[in-house]
Amino acid sequence: MTGCRRAAATLPSMILALLLALAPASAVRAQVDSEVSFANDIQPILARRCYACHGPDDQSSGLALHERELAIAEADSGEHAIVPGDADASTLIARVASHDEFERMPPEGEPLDDSEIDLLRRWINGGAEWSKHWAFEPMKSPAVPEVGQKAWSQNPIDAFIAARLDKNGLSPSPPADKHTLARRVYYGVTGMPPTAEQLAAFTADDSPGAWGNLVGKLLASQHYGEHWARHWLDLVRYAETNSFERDAQKPNAWKYRDYVIRSLNDDKPYDQFLREQLAGDELDEVTEETITATGYYRLGIWDDEPADPLQARFDGWDDIISTTGQVMLGLTVGCARCHDHKIDPIPQADYYGMLAFFADVTPYGDRGDQQTNSQWVMESPDLSAKRKKLQRAMGRTQRERVSMEEVGIKRMDAPDQRRSEGPERKALLDEKLEQFLNESEWEQYQATRRKQRDLRRQLRELPASEAIMALATCIPQPEPTHIMLRGNPHSPGDEVQPHFPELFGQPAPQIPAATADARSAGRRRVLADWIASPDNMLTARVMVNRIWQHHFGRGIVRSTNNFGQLGTPPTHPDLLDWLAQYLIDNDWRLKPLHELILTSRAYQMSSAAQPEALAADPTNDLLWRFDMRRLHSEEIRDSLLVVTDKFNPQMYGPSFYPRLSAEVFATQSRPGEGWGESSDEDVARRSVYMYIKRSLLPPFHTAFDFPDVDISCEARFVTIQPGQALTMLNGDYANLAAGRLADRVEERAGGDPRRQVESAIQITLNRPAEEDEVIEGLALLDRLRGEHGLNDRQALHQWCLTVINLSEFIFLD
């Protein structure tokens, strides 16, 4: 076996690739580009390595490097850190290049590498010019460059890629073979492997339009929405429980997931997609779909018994602000909660100006009522009014009952009073309450209980209605928003009005005052319209970067949730802006953008290394080849369902509960609590429909880097570690899949060992087995039977387990 087919053989190369990916991007640019950009090359070095001591918060030794006037000024020592035009006279260069550990800067951590020092030196010699951070400049409308490689660069994307390659004397890799391309695009668009029939049809099609036809077919597939919804769900920290000690269920959370899948399959314009989630209850046309979209506000973690309720309230707002800022704008606005942002021009007042837009957002619930705020009941206005009237009456009656109970409890002795605060309260009241109420009080208490029973009966008799997890109630007249000193909600400072971050240079928004009968404050609609505007300089850039990330393994800006000054500069800034404008010009629809990317020659390149290019650009920043990647956990699990012929294509609806072992349940304080039973048929559905309980993530998925669902995940880790091998060799799910694959092999090949070996490879990898693979497979079967005493079926099981552990199955070339 050659290439990526032998699992062990690929590990060193994969580890090398991962180590290279961690190398400083500036090091690569220093090798391949002669020009030095302050925004792309210098400012990231200063921000990462210098601002902690010489930035906006701390000016050690009187030196600040975050503004040009301060950086070139005389420091306390009388020296100049930066002398524009003269690097040799600049103490900054002397200190970062020093070999004396007591003089070298920065004093902690790794010293700057030679390429970073060279960039600083060339920048200073060139005049040490400052420029505004690239992401805080309006989008440009760059022309598609004219390049020499015209045959290769007919797609505009290829022209931008080729221009950078030409400039650095590099050439793109040749195209990948059709088998590799088909597997790449099936996973890239649908997250599923091609069937043998699908692969054979594509490889046999020699027409010029074969590739474009396949791309169009996959984008029209319902599996596209399922796969790409998972990327969005990672961003918005989707889960179906609240976290914290009880980690209770979020009823109907799955409807938000289905909303995302449908929106993507329908190619809903991205600006509309954002407006619906931010203000679906405030749009001109409010529908069940737009209400479902506001489930966005209910996805985060929620403590049903906080020690400090006011702190918890502001934590909930912070979760929304931080997620919205990172996901939709690529900004770490949340860093300004307690003080002005350390790096980006986001003062604390801007954080609370953003909070003011969300001031009408209610908490998820309270411990006694986790429905009213989070469950929107879809029914006629008359029925809804009647239901709410009964619910309000129920609430008043419950408060009256508790008040009367407390009268009696206060007359009890201390031990019984303590019992009333715990789980024995009901038993205590049933046993003793009558003894501590007078006759009139007891009669009133019994009347209140009868009233409660009658109200419950009336509620039960109402026609059934459908509930949606959504922003069900709002605060139409929110209290004024104040800057909280040091982020402490108990220390309000100056009042602030809703406003956009000052770095955008936008005028104050015009927000009409909410009417007396308004359902909400109307502020989120204004925010949504601004974020989804084509004039917003970040929204389109951030989204096209995410699309690029999931097709190429990393974004044009690698830090996809952070376009700020601590983020990674774009490798192809003109391409980023061109694509952003392309998205807007195509009515914010994502499928045309996918199609443009997938039909580019850049996407179709081989992943094979070229020694010259590898030496000049080891991290492939210039995109001279396609990067190999490992499948995500869901892709591996779903692929096992497909190759074992157990896949259930049912879409939408309540989530299924995957099977977990007793050992996993034992990690809970109450083993198995909050976990349901699903049929074998339901468990065979796609992983996107899997129930996500924050405190009980399935080990198979966590082994393959399933994200922390408490916070926004911009990009999953892609690790290679022993737990994955153990999961795929010893885990229950992998062994169950191997047994099912053995069943398919026996049906196809009978008891013939050679045909069994060939069939396992054909079914799993969708290609004929090579002779050396057959020889090794037969040798393994012989050893398992002769040396280890396995019978024929057991040996076949182990061969099937071996095949699903091949790198060719788990990695995309």
16 falls in which pLDDT band (50, 70, 90)? very low
Question: Could you tell me if residue 755 is inside a domain?
Answer: yes
Question: In this structure, are 310 and 450 located in the same domain?
Answer: no
CB contact at 8 A, 492 and 485: yes
* Orientation of helix 792-803 relative to helix 771-786, angle to 10°: 140
Question: 165 lies in a domain?
Answer: no
In this prediction, residue 34 has a pLDDT band, given cuts at 50, 70 and 90, of low
For 376-433, write each residue's pLDDT tens digit. 988 777 888 888 899 889 989 999 999 999 999 999 999 999 888 878 888 999 999 9
Indicate whether 679 pLDDT > 90: yes
Percent of the chain having pLDDT more than 90? 76
* Between 455 and 464, residue with greater pLDDT: 455
Question: Which tens digit of pLDDT belongs to each residue from 73-84?
Answer: 888 888 888 999
| pLDDT score for 14 | 36
The answer to whether position 602 is within a domain reads: no
Task: Tell me the sheet residues that pair with 468.
Answer: 376
Residue 467 CA to residue 474 CA, distance in Å, equals 17
802: tokens are: 């071996």
For residue 400 the two structure tokens come to 């009256």
**Average pLDDT of span 683-707:** 96
pLDDT greater than 90 at residue 61: no
| Residue 305 structure tokens | 């018994």
Q: For residue 448, is pLDDT > 70? A: yes
Number of compact structural domains in the chain: 4
In terms of domains, do 364 and 508 share one? yes
Distance CA 307, CA 17 (A): 47
Q: Does residue 500 sit in the same domain as residue 360?
A: yes
Q: Rounded mean pLDDT of the chain?
A: 91
**Cα 409 to Cα 741: distance, rounded to the nearest angstrom:** 65
Does 90 have pLDDT greater than 60?
yes
Q: Which two tokens stand for residue 499?
A: 């406003």
> In sequence order, what are the beta bridge partners of 466?
378
Q: Is the pLDDT of residue 106 over 80?
A: yes
361 phi, psi to nearest 5 deg = -75, 120
**How far apart, in whole angstroms, are the C-alpha atoms of residue 348 and residue 449?**
51
What one-character-per-residue DSSP string does 533-565 give? -TT-TTHHHHHHHHHHHHHHSS-SSS-TT--ST
Same domain assignment for residues 739 and 777: yes
* Contact status, residue 357 vs residue 527, Cβ threshold 8 Å: yes
**Token pair 């705020």 in the structure block, residue:** 373
Residues 458-476, mean pLDDT to the nearest whole number? 90
Contact 509, 499 (CB under 8 A): yes
Q: Decide if 412 is inside a domain.
A: yes
| 64 and 100 fall within a common domain | yes
pLDDT greater than 80 at residue 15 = no
- Residue 735 CB: number of other CB atoms within 10 A? 17
Q: Is 230 a member of any domain?
A: no
Neighbours of 245 (CB within 10 A): 11
- On the CB side of 489, how many CA atoms lie within 13 Å of its CA? 13
> What ranges in 220-253 are assigned the alpha helix state H?
222-235
Residue 617 scores a pLDDT above 90: yes
**370 with 409, same domain?**
no
Separation of alpha carbons 658 and 656, rounded Å: 6
Tokens of 594: 């996918």
Angstrom CA distances, 681 to 11, 237, 661, 697, 735, stand at 36, 27, 19, 21, 18
∠ at Cα 259 (257, 261), nearest 5°?
Answer: 75
Find the range with the poorest average confidence among 150-159, 182-191, 214-223, 794-803.
150-159
User: What does the pLDDT look like over 358-380, one tens digit per residue?
Assistant: 999 999 998 888 899 999 988 77
Q: Which domain holds residue 417?
A: 380-464
Strand partners, 8: none
Answer yes or no: is pLDDT of 26 > 50.
no
315 and 428 share a domain?
no
Looking at the fold, whether 60 and 116 belong to one and the same domain comes out as yes
Rounded mean pLDDT, 237-253 = 95
Over the stretch 269-306, which tens digit does the pLDDT of each residue have?
A: 999 999 999 999 999 999 999 999 999 999 999 999 99
801 pLDDT above the threshold of 90: yes
Q: Which residue, of 523, 539, 572, is where some domain finishes? A: 523
pLDDT for 136-184, tens place per residue?
A: 999 999 999 998 878 888 899 999 999 999 999 999 999 999 999 999 9
Q: Which of 90, 125, 160 is the last residue of a domain?
A: 125
Where a domain ends, among 419, 444, 464?
464
CA dihedral angle for residue 643, residue 649, residue 653, residue 658, rounded to 10 degrees: -10
Interval 327-345 mean pLDDT:
94
Mean pLDDT of 222-236: 98
Q: Does residue 368 share a domain with residue 484?
A: yes
Question: Which residues have a Cβ under 8 Å from the Cβ of 102 and sit 6 or more positions away?
Answer: none
- For residues 572 and 476, give the distance between their C-alpha atoms in angstroms, rounded to a whole number: 45
With a cut of 60, say whether residue 4 has pLDDT above it.
no
Q: Are residues 329 and 409 in the same domain?
A: no
174 lies in some domain: no
Task: List, in sequence order, every residue forming a beta bridge with 241; answer none if it has no partner.
Answer: 249
Domain contains 200: no
Q: Are the C-beta atoms of residues 401 and 449 closer than 8 Å to each other? A: yes
In a domain, 413, yes or no: yes
- Give 132-135's long-range contacts (Cβ < 8 A, gap of 24+): 132/39, 133/39, 133/43, 133/344, 133/564, 133/565, 134/39, 134/40, 134/569, 134/570, 134/573, 135/330, 135/537, 135/538, 135/541, 135/563, 135/564, 135/567
pLDDT-wise least confident of 34-43, 203-212, 443-452, 486-495: 34-43
Instruction: Label residue 211 by pLDDT band (50, 70, 90).
Output: very high
Confidence at 25, pLDDT banded by 50, 70, 90: very low
How far is Cα 210 from Cα 650, in angstroms, rounded to an integer? Answer: 29
pLDDT of residue 165: 94
Q: Are 534 and 141 in contact (CB under 8 A)?
A: no
Together in a domain, 483 and 337:
yes
Provide mean pLDDT across the span 318-342. Answer: 96
Residue in this structure with the two tokens 């969300």, named with its chain if needed: 358
In whole angstroms, what is the distance from residue 621 CA to residue 569 CA?
A: 11
Beta carbons of 557 and 564 less than 8 angstroms apart: no
Whether the per-residue pLDDT at 37 is higher than 90: the answer is: no
User: Does one domain contain both 369 and 492?
Assistant: yes
Q: Nearest-CA neighbor of 155 among 582, 569, 484?
A: 582
pLDDT in the model for residue 28: 39
% of the chain surpassing 70 pLDDT? 96
